[in-house]
Amino acid sequence: MSQQGYVATPPYSQAQPGMGGYPAGFGSTPAQPLYRHYGGPPQSFPAPPTGMMKPVSSPSGMPPPQVPSHYGSNGQQNGAHPQSYPAPPYGQPPQSPYHSMAHQGPPPAQQLTNQMGAMNLGYGPGPMQSPQVPPTSPPTQQPFQTAPPPAMGHSPLGPPPTGPHSSQMAPPQSPLAGPPMAGPQSMGGPPPMGGMGRPFPGPPPPGAGGFQQPGPGAAGPPGHPQQLQGQFGGQMAGPGMAGPGMAGPGMAGPFQGGAAQMAGPPQKKLDPDSIPSTTQVIEDDQAKRGGQVYTTNLRGQVPPLVTTDYTVQDQGNASPRFMRCTTYSFPCTADLAKQCQVPLATIIKPFATVPKNETPMYVVNHGETGPIRCNRCKAYMCPYMQFMDGGRRYQCGFCNCVNEVPPFYFQHLDHMGKRVDFYERPELSLGSYEFAATLDYCKNNKPASPPAYIFMIDVSYANIKSGLVRLVCDELKTLLDNLPREDGAESSMVKVGFVTYNKILHFYNVKSALAQPQMMVVSDTAEMFVPLLDGFLVNFQESRAVINNLLDQIPDMFADTNESETVFAPVIQAGVEALKAAECSGKLFIFHSSIPTAEAPGKLKNRDDKKLINTEKEKTLFQPQKAVYEQLSKDCVSQGCSVDLFLFPSQYVDIATMGDVATHTGGSIFKYSNFQVERDGQHFLSDLRKDVEKAIGFDAIMRVRTSTGFRATDFFGAIHMNNTTDVEMAAVDCDKAVTVEFKHDDTLSEETGALMQCALLYTTISGQRRLRIHNLSLNCSAQLSELYKSCETDALINFFTKSAYRAMLNQPLKTVRENLVNQAAHMLACYRKNCASPSAASQLILPDAMKVFPVYLNSLLKTGPLVGSAELSTDDRAHQRLSTTAMGVEDTQLLLYPRLIPLHNMDVASDVVPTPVRCSEERLTDAGMFLLENGCSLFLWLGQACPPELIQSIFNVPSLAHVPVDLRSLPELDNPQSKKLRSIVDSLLDQRPSSMKLLIVKQKDRSEIMFRQHLVEDKGLHGGASYMDFLCYVHREIRQVLT
Amino acid sequence: MATYQEFIQQNEDRDGVRFSWNLWPSSRLEATRLVVPVSCLFTPLKERPDLPPVQYEPVLCSRANCKAVLNPLCQVDYRAKIWACNFCFQRNPFPPSYAGISDVNQPAELMPQFSTIEYVVQRGPPTPLIFLYVVDTCLEEEDLQALKESLQMSLSLLPPNALVGLITFGRMVQVHELSCEAIAKSYVFRGTKELSSKQIQEMLGLTNPAASGPQGRPVAPQDPAVTCRFLQPVHKVDMNLTDLLGELQRDPWPVPQGKRPLRSTGIALSIAVGLLEGTFPNTGARVMMFTGGPPTQGPGMVVGDELKTPIRSWHDITKDNARHLKKATKYYEALANRAAVNGHSIDIYACALDQTGLLEMKCLSNLTGGHIAMGDSFNTSLFKQTFQRVFSKDYNGEFCMAFGGTLEVKMSRELKVSGAIGPCVSLNAKGPCISENEVGVGGTTQWKICSLSPSTTLAMYFEVVNQHNAPIPQGGRGAVQFVTQYQHSNTQKRIRVTTVARNWADAQSQIQHIESSFDQEASAVIMARLGVFRAESEEGPDVLRWLDRQLIRLCQKFGQFNKDDPTSFKLSESLSLYPQFMFHLRRSPFLQVFNNSPDECSYYRHHFVRQDLTQSLIMIQPILYSYSFHGPPEPVLLDSGSILPDRILLMDTFFQLVIYHGETIAQWRKAGYQEQPEYENFKHLLVAPLDDAQEILQNRFPMPRYIDTEHGGSQARFLLSKVNPSQTHNNLYSWGQETGAPILTDDVSLQVFMDHLKKLAVSSAA
């Protein structure tokens, strides 16, 4: 559709010399750290003018007030706007939105002006849908005056009356023209400066000037209108098309929120609305494809976004829930692939949860001989096998080998060459299905046994004191009733076992025949072994009495312990040995408190050295201590023993090492720093419940087969690889994804496309051996534009995240960050060069499918692991790094672009979650209440001016000041607001793989810092550019590439 | 003067001492010519119901290297209140508490009838007895059940304040904690990994790192009973322990076809030793190990777990084919020595049809005074009663066991001690009276006997050092003092002092006297112990040859004969039985390995070197009683001639008790005559040996194997192999007599043996 794609605000990029000043104008932190990350020349950042600082340091200081109010009103109006003007944009110049962002006109400053104009003026109620309008309607105030009524009507929250607006309208200009001008100045350089200066004080003249530009600009790329439709139309959906274009719906929140704070500097921030908005993209996709059925019958079809709510109908390709690619159209040649630098990767989540309304997995049984496979490449029977010779033979779609059809499988072909039983056999008609595996697929040719869950509880002083041990023991009594079971099975076949430990290990015999449990202590941690066989792993139902007895006693038994040292590696070793002895696979749930310092294998010492940060050696902080743990991972994987680690540290525990085994065995790491039962108990328990109950397969081995011409070369995930092709996973659950990168071997043909088959051999929760097959077919094209068109930003960023997080083990962080930006720049530059229509170099042109890629990338660069700040705990960084390894696309998307949900104006009557707004401080309002979640944390942000009624209805306290900060869950109140909010929170928690702890954050409280870290469009608290700065930076990089 | 017989008996009754010679040759040269060394059998804790212990400390000679105890042989100057040590002649003042002493008011230890006296002394806090059960769980269900019951029963036999502990083993070793109430807790060790004592204690959580003093010397635990959770007073934990024993399961690890269960005996014992070493050093303790098979893994392994490789036999051993033998033996020896140093004894109760590795493990008991009991199954009365008898009590209702004994021997200057043979280890106490000529365990004047029973008997070997040209004055006496310190079963510390003296005699002028003072029974046992001791380290035939040589020399020395005329050979009464003892000793399982497995030999030898004289003699030459209608039961010759059709024989070999019904008797019995009232006398005849056997069974430890057989029965071999084969298939018809039963053997009979002996003794060539 779109050739050109998105063309973003050139002014910024164009004015390189002025760049330095720009960030200064916005951010409260000095510019240097920000740019240092990019490795850019420091010279480019002139010291921020003192004048600039003022507004920054006193956002609500003297000069700005008018402006905020000014914008505030705008905001409100804007907020109302979308609804009020769905139609106009279409009628008038469709370019308008386009202009606001993509005025390619030579004088960038003017374009900026235009945008400003658009913002300032275009939001009026009037029909001024586009920047072009301002000139025609010189009295700027007018629109405002007229606007309020409708605006008010639409946004009941907007308290400021119209009056002020109009009266303030003029004053604001001057402050803006003054100090804030530095921003534009720096960007636009001296010449535009003048232009810039004027538009504000006197909208009409500059506006006109600016206005002129759009014309030609629009004219430049002829296809603009259509492109617009193509690119934005979908996303913009109705309201989005409103006059202000991009700024449309997204504007509402931020502007209101920013009212007080935006002050002078926000002047620049007018532009954020004009740069691609993730929330907008998400919203548009939801609008376009949400609620629809996605039928996987076409090759190379781009699925809806992960955030979109859709239903999948499997018609020969795996659901995007299972496999999602960075692009659905592979370049035909390796050269092309190299040229565009777009990674070719698939994120496979083999056990992804399938909604109830979609068909569950069929199990195919081919009898004693096992699944039918290609003789040469061993691919499994799938829709890509071509039957021929009247059905007697079939040609493998992957290696083209012609195979005989086994007699029992023979079936006639119809006139289309399709087997008559096509629709009766899932393996012929579906993208995903399972085969029952035969003994050949079992370890030692012995039938697999049901897996076992072993709970290993650290009973050292710290865990006893924090109350954790009691909490876990109490919880297990009920939790174990919910062990995962086969669909339709009466009870779970999973066996359970219990170990407690500090410096030594205690195993428990909980055989049902016993009157009371027996404890067996193993002190020989140097060479771990399992002291008992019979009675260690038992069926919970049968041994319930003994187990409950045990769980009752454990907390008391160690109540007066003073043992503070722990071991760790021997604990895992013990688990592996236990599973080995029982000849089954399984999972270890380890509840651990401290760095293992006791004399035993895998003993660790504190190597947390903040001095290493930002040096060549920083990577060592993330490298696990090898030897013992490496071997342990191998042992675990070969036994099918997954390790889930629940950490309750009060200080450094070397997660980089401790988490190593978990991240190689398909396990997860949960961390609860300074755990307190009252505060973190619920959070932990819900994590534990989810973890215990979730669907999972064990002792898995995955192989990704591809059609000729390309092959899987690299794998990222909580996996272990013994060779280059077999992905071994001790366990794989519904949240674990493996990212697979492909490389060309040869030329791909457009005709046959690129086929892939992911086969996962695993043991089910009831001990059956199965093969889960996911097939996916992609297009191939010699045209790069095809590739760019069918890119998937969310998948891309997943790949980038994983590869960057892996690279940081071997390269200095600086290099990793540079490489990331470089590759991104190359990708975008390649598009510019090969796919976009010629345009001025100063224009930032982004492929439509990737237009929000920069914001994700920027967010990635600002994540803890990559940011390199001594203020972050090494453990947290390592934890985040490790947790990301097995994330699926949904998780990385949310992690890198949290959802910021405005609550103050939610519609309590409807059951939809309010539309999230952009993750930026500007979107916050004093009088607002926001929910922010990223899959790991959940914040409830309360603005200082949050209406007491709302506070009352949610918290049952009279005012903000009374809201307890240490509240861990929302009080259950019987009013619509409270109910609505709680249902939102619950639904969020339900959707995410891990539970999130609810943190109440009051505006301007100390705790707000944590919250602000997640406003990814803003400057990073620990370094890292704001979205807009980054965009400029990327643009500069692109230009460098292009020249 | 009473006969020597009476003298010997009287001495034995009073002092528990029997010397080979009751007159001592006065010079070294003469002594060596007597062939049988000056030596004695000494029973330190001989039961003396008539000897009440005195409640004060013994008075010691003040000379530093003497320290002999005041005794009836000392010269006392009542006026000066001074006594002279009869060993070193040091003159010592009496301690103040003896101020009232006079020739009419003598302390007990000066009275001649108190040549053996027992002191109760106060040394440190009383420490309870400790019993640590080490139980093999690789047993058949039935065996394990029986064993569990026996163990549970034994709890009621233990003194209530005794500490008890439990270690079980199979593939793993479990040390059970007994103090815990709610949940049965045990520490588990890998069965293949050797751990140092320190490691064991650390792993059991017995060391408190903070407690060790600045000098690095570990501070003794203040109250070990509290600190050690593994050893608890019986009265506190008997319920717990009974339950625990009741819940003991067979080793759960699967034993594949064709394999032996993995049994970590070596590690289990090392943990037991380590545990006691760390918690109760130098305190009386008994490790009681119950095993149903050979150690099959880890250090101390005797045989691999492959059933296709059988456990070593004598054949393998002589061929040097026993792979694990040396290593295992060395391992157990090291363990035994550690235990001995700390005064802990180790019992082995091995019940299995096949061998269990006693050969390798015997030193555990031999060096520590522990018992060995061997049986076919734990589910037999043999085991059950033997085990019960370990806890038998004496006339005072106290346990017939004592712990942590040290035996010190002091002697006159003319004597030196060469060594001891018995369940002891050397304490390496150096002194001037140690002979360079080591016999048995020598090189010391003190021995440790970790566990003593009233019958524990040591053979002590002495050497006369007086040179021939410096004769001892006529009428002089040599004296020997045995000082035995031990922990009584009632936890008292006691010292028993036995002081004996014998006259010196000039071997040239008084050879007849010396000859008549010969105690052939004691000598036979003493020589036999020497032989057995040698047999442990030497090849069987060498030992036999050596024994023969000694016998011939003795006969040459004391026999009356004309040179080269065997028929003229005569031995005096005091030596007349000695050759016969030697004949039977040569055929005994102590020296003959044929027909006995290595384990059996070890077992027999173990008991032989610790039993008192009477029992030892039975072992050498079993007793045979004959029951018939012709008169009351009578002892008969241990000869095939005694096996007659109309007799019932009762043979006691110590280890077996055989009742043999002669051919006719057996037929009668089969015909059921005993049931008929008119043949009541026959019934009585049948019952008589059973009653007598019962009496023996009552008192013997270990329980003998009880065999009831008849003519032609397969079990009759036990009898036939013991009797002197005076009639064999070779000579039966030439004798042409209708007495006795022929034995199918190529062994020589006593007659032939004696003929050869005579011939060799009179031979001038020898």
| Residues listed for chain B | 766
Residue with tokens 């007598």: B692
Percent of chain A past pLDDT 70, that is, above it, reads 74
A898-1015, what's its fold?
A: Severin (3.40.20)
At residue B470 the predicted structure's pLDDT band, cuts being 50, 70 and 90, is confident
Q: What is the rounded CA–CA span in Å between residue A500 and residue A521?
A: 9
CA distance A565 to A581: 28
User: What residues in A contact B193, CB-CB < 8 Å?
Assistant: 524, 527
Select from B362, B363, B447 the least CA-distant residue to B405.
Answer: B447
Nearest C-alpha of chain A: how many angstroms from B348?
25
Mean of the per-residue pLDDT values of chain A: 76
Who among B183, B193, B204 is closest to A527 (CB)?
A: B193
Answer yes or no: do A534 and B185 touch at CB < 8 A: no
Name the H helices within B2-126: 4-15, 28-33
- The CATH fold of domain B519-612+747-765: Four Helix Bundle (Hemerythrin (Met), subunit A) (1.20.120)
- Name the most confidently modeled range: A18-27, A628-637, A1023-1032: A628-637
pLDDT at A225 over 60: no
pLDDT at residue A835, as a whole number: 87
Q: Which of A446, A502, A521 has the highest number of chain B CBs within 10 A, making it the mutation to test binding with B?
A: A521
Distance CA A585, CA A497 (A): 13
Q: What is the pLDDT of residues B329-383, one digit of tens each?
A: 999 999 999 999 999 999 999 999 999 999 999 999 999 999 999 999 999 999 9
In whole angstroms, give the CA distance from residue B27 to residue B39.
15
Q: Decide if A518 and B174 are in contact by the 8 Å CB cutoff.
A: no
A14 vs B245 pLDDT, higher one? B245
DSSP string over A219-263: HSSTTHHHHIIIIIIHHHTGGGGSTTGGGHHHHHHHHHHTTTT--
What is the complex's ipTM, to 2 decimals?
Answer: 0.85
How many residue pairs from chains A and B have C-beta atoms closer than 8 A?
Answer: 67
B185: closest CA of chain A, how far (Å):
4
pLDDT for residue A29 is more than 80: no
Q: Could you say which of 2.20.25.90, 2.60.40.1670, 1.10.3720.10, 3.30.465.10 is the CATH number of the domain covering B4-60+115-122+400-512?
A: 2.60.40.1670
pLDDT tens per residue across span A495-524 = 999 999 999 999 999 999 888 898 999 988
Which of A473, A514, A518 is best to mutate for the B interface (most B CBs within 10 A)? A518
User: What is the per-residue pLDDT across A85-104, written as a single tens digit (0 to 9) for each?
Assistant: 333 333 343 333 333 333 33
Q: How far is B172 from chain A (nearest CA, A)?
A: 7
Q: What is the mean pLDDT of residues B731-753?
A: 71
Q: Is the pLDDT of residue A188 over 50?
A: no
User: Which of A507, A517, A534 lies closest to B183 in CB terms?
Assistant: A517
**Quick one: pLDDT at residue B537?**
87
pLDDT at B16 over 90: yes
Q: Which of A149-158, A993-1002, B56-65, B606-615 has the lowest mean pLDDT?
A: A149-158
Cα separation, A631 vs A637, whole angstroms: 10
Say whether B183 and A535 touch across the interface (CB within 8 A): no
Report, at the CATH architecture level, how domain B130-206+228-390 is classified. 3-Layer(aba) Sandwich (3.40)
Residue to substitute from B137, B138, B172, B183, interface A, most A β-carbons within 10 A: B183
Q: What is the pLDDT of residue B729?
A: 73
Q: Which residue of chain A comes nearest to B203, CA vs CA?
A: A523
Question: Which residue of A500, A503, A519, A554 is the best one to mutate when testing the B interface, meaning the one whose CB has the most B CBs within 10 A?
Answer: A519
Residues of B in contact with A521 (CB under 8 A): 177, 185-188
The span from the CA of A531 to the CA of A550, in Å, is 18
Q: Which helix (H) or strand (E) holds A572?
A: helix A569-582
Q: Which amino acid is at B196?
A: S
Among chain B residues, the shortest Cα distance to A582 is held by B253
User: CA A943, CA A907: separation in Å to the nearest integer?
Assistant: 19
Structure tokens of B132?
Answer: 């640590």
A1040, A40 in Cβ contact below 8 A? no
pLDDT in tens, A956-1013: 888 888 888 777 788 888 888 888 888 888 888 888 888 888 888 888 888 888 888 8
Q: Do residues A932 and A253 make contact, with C-beta atoms less than 8 angstroms apart?
A: no
In the CATH scheme, what is the code of domain B622-723?
Answer: 3.40.20.10
Q: Which CATH number fits domain A273-366+431-450+695-781: 3.30.160.70, 3.10.580.10, 2.60.40.1670, 3.40.50.300?
A: 2.60.40.1670
Measured distance CA(A375)–CA(A369) in Å, rounded? 13
Q: Verify whether the Cβ–Cβ distance B187 to A557 is below 8 Å.
A: no
Do A533 and B252 count as a contact with CB atoms less than 8 A apart?
yes
What residue segments make up the domains of chain B, in order of their start?
4-60+115-122+400-512, 130-206+228-390, 519-612+747-765, 622-723
If residue B267 lies in a helix (H) or strand (E), which one and from where to where? Answer: helix B265-279
Confidence at A293, pLDDT banded by 50, 70, 90: very high
Q: How many whole angstroms separate alpha carbon B433 and alpha carbon B415?
A: 7
Q: Report which of A520, A659, A641 is spatially closest to residue A577, judged by C-alpha positions.
A: A641
- Whether the bond into B224 is cis, omega within 30 of 0: no
Nearest chain A Cα distance for residue B300, angstroms: 20
Fold designation for A791-897+1020-1042: Four Helix Bundle (Hemerythrin (Met), subunit A) (1.20.120)
At B293, the pLDDT band (50, 70, 90 cuts) reads very high
CATH superfamily label, A367-430 = Zn-finger domain of Sec23/24 (2.30.30.380)
Interchain CB distance below 8 Å, A531 and B193: no
Percent of chain B with pLDDT over 70: 95
DSSP 8-state assignment for residue A922: G
Chain A residues touching chain B at CB-CB below 8 Å? 504, 506-507, 514-524, 527, 529, 531-535, 550, 553, 556-557
Strands A393-395 and B623-628 turn out to be: unpaired
Query: For residue A23, is the peptide bond before it cis, meaning its omega torsion is within 30 degrees of 0?
Result: no
Specify the DSSP element, H or E, that contains B459. strand B458-464
**Rounded to two decimals, what is the model's pTM?**
0.80
Poorest-confidence range of A257-266, A325-334, A898-907?
A: A257-266
- The one-letter amino acid code at B155 reads L
Q: Per residue in A392-425, pLDDT tens?
A: 999 999 999 999 999 999 999 998 888 999 999 9
For an interface test with B, the pick among A529, A536, A556 (most B C-beta atoms closer than 10 Å) comes out as: A529
Contact criterion met (CB below 8 Å) for A71 and A174: no
pLDDT for position A45: 40
Residue A554 Cα, gap to closest chain B Cα (Å): 10
User: Pick the residue with more confidence: B429 or A266?
Assistant: B429
What pLDDT sits at residue A473?
A: 94
The residue of chain B with its CA nearest to that of A521 is: B187
Average pLDDT estimate for B315-330: 92
Residue A545 C-alpha, separation from nearest chain B C-alpha, in angstroms:
14
Instruction: Using the predicted structure, report yes or no on whether residue A8 has a pLDDT greater than 50.
Output: no
Q: Per the CB < 8 Å rule, is B203 touching A514?
A: no
Q: How far apart are CA B335 and CA B274, in angstroms?
A: 9
- CB of B258 within 8 A of CB of B203? no
Hey, which CATH number is domain A459-694, 3.40.50.880, 3.40.50.300, 3.40.50.410, 1.10.1370.40? 3.40.50.410
Interface of B with A (CB under 8 A): 172, 174, 177, 180, 182-190, 193, 195, 202-205, 247, 249, 252-254
Answer yes or no: do A519 and B195 touch at CB < 8 A. no
Q: Looking at residue B497, what is its pLDDT?
A: 95
* Predicted local confidence at residue A197, as pLDDT: 35
Are the Cβ atoms of A523 and B172 closer than 8 angstroms? no
Query: Which positions in chain B touch A506 (Cβ < 8 Å)?
Result: 185
Q: What is the pLDDT of residue A202?
A: 36
DSSP-based three-state secondary structure for B285: strand
Contacting residues of A for B189, CB less than 8 Å apart: 522-524
Q: Please report residues of B whose CB lies closer than 8 A to that of A531.
A: 172, 174, 188
What is the predicted pLDDT for the residue at A272?
A: 65
Contact between A441 and A386 (Cβ < 8 Å) = no
Domains of chain A, by residue range, sit at 273-366+431-450+695-781, 367-430, 459-694, 791-897+1020-1042, 898-1015
Residues of A in contact with B254 (CB under 8 A): 533
CB contact under 8 A, A531 and B172: yes
Predicted confidence (pLDDT) per residue in A49-68, tens digit? 443 333 333 334 343 334 33
Cα torsion A538, A544, A549, A551 to 10°: value is 70
